Structure 1
């Protein structure tokens, strides 16, 4: 055997510009760049009604969740969020929102800085399923980042689960979900279960708190 027998040259690896800091790679889909909500709509298919100001979108209480126009399967996601600088409430009533992967599986957003709540409901949890490995939530009003690697579930032609969804999450650069096997659709009451589906959108939750979001981009994998 010679070295060349274990080398392959085709296909060539695609070249992507990585970006700097939190800026998006060159092959990313920009979902929010601080200017408008053109990539989003309301859950009722109407216009997204959250406020856009100073490069961020802010949950406007009572206007409802917002959802991306585009649907996704496997992806890499970058999203930044900030709980309100003025602290009101406690536990789940403080800086609460959520990032729903494929419109079904919630990555919790919560002001978990010096704010005790149930562990599988704090920031960085897969809500009601998996608590974060550590709590690295920044002070109220400061920006947090989530970097997410998500593998969508697979189903057989008959609709049976073939392989569950998996997710890895870095919160402020720290690993908080390590290839976690999602147990099914997020439920507030009851146990999660799967129902067959295809691609799905990203959606952000209006939980009544003025949580801000910025710099949202996604890469299809």
Structure 2
């Protein structure tokens, strides 16, 4: 959903405030939106989606040949066992060897059963739809435990982090597999680096629409206002958030390139 003027006020940015002034916000709380709360939805039974014939399979359950460590582009060091890819704490974010522009993506993820903690410290990771640099640079679709776990609306699972709260919360319980299916339209920049078309995202979580062709305001930032910097095709990134409560797992990751 697109925030109304009232929602802008909730973001801590009075009407008429410039982008530069908004970016000067110095606390992460300044860009947290807690109301209205996202409606709870019970998703239908889980069903995995097999990769179509023209898909690029990014994780087939066997190895990490399609992935590298974001920081130094060395082979990814997360754990692969029993067809599942699991964050290996302390090894850093991983990203695809290949770079993409527009695509359809399917990804399945799981918060461990018996997870502890609360809020953002409960099963936190992230899917970066375009990785534009080291660390957490890029555009993040949030991954975390949002099943009976309260946090700010634009930071829960299904959110475009710190930009758009999801339209619904269809989270499954920890220990159950969840899915993202999405369409990513990359931003377009002019020869001088100026933005000519923003990035757009449509996303389904567990078969429920959570982002409806939203125009991103820029790359993800933890503090301040999102902003764009010119870039071309980019890898897709998965986040090692360093969450001490439990590692997040992934499987069945595939992509179809779009024009």
Q: Displacement of 1:76 after TM fit?
A: 0.2
Cα deviation for residue 150 of structure 1 reads 0.8
- Cα offset, 1:21, TM superposition: 4.9
Structure 2 residue aligned with 1:57: 85
The residue that corresponds to 2:42 in the other structure is none
The whole-number CA distance in structure 1 between the counterparts of 2:114 and 2:57 is 30
1:22 and 2:49 correspond: yes
5 Å-filtered alignment, 1:58-207, equals: 58-103=86-131, 104-207=138-241
Q: Looking at CA atoms only, which structure, 1 or 2, has the larger radius of gyration? A: 1
Rounded to whole Å, the distance in 1 between the matches of 2:63 and 2:120 is 29
1:217 aligns with 2:254: yes
* Pair 1:34 & 2:61 matched: yes
Q: 2: CA distance between counterparts of 1:211 and 1:50? A: 11
Following superposition, which runs of at least 4 residues in structure 1 exceed 3 angstroms of deviation? none
1:21–1:97 CA distance, 2 compared to 1 (3 A)? closer
Give the alignment's Cα RMSD to 1 decimal.
1.0
CA–CA distance in 2 between the matches of 1:138 and 1:53?
Answer: 23
Q: How many residues get paired?
A: 202
Gaps of 5+ in 2: 1-46, 132-137
SS at match of 1:120: helix
Name whichever of 45-54 and 126-135 sits farther off: 45-54
Q: Distance in 1 between matches of 2:61 and 2:242?
A: 21
TM-score by length of 2: 0.77
Look up the SS of the partner of 1:108 in the other structure: strand
Cα deviation digits, residues 65-101 of structure 1 (max 9, x gap): 0010000000000000001112111100001000001
SS in 2 for 1:92: helix
Q: Which runs of 5+ in 1 are unaligned?
A: 1-19
CA shift for structure 1 position 182: 0.6
Secondary structure of 1:102's counterpart equals strand
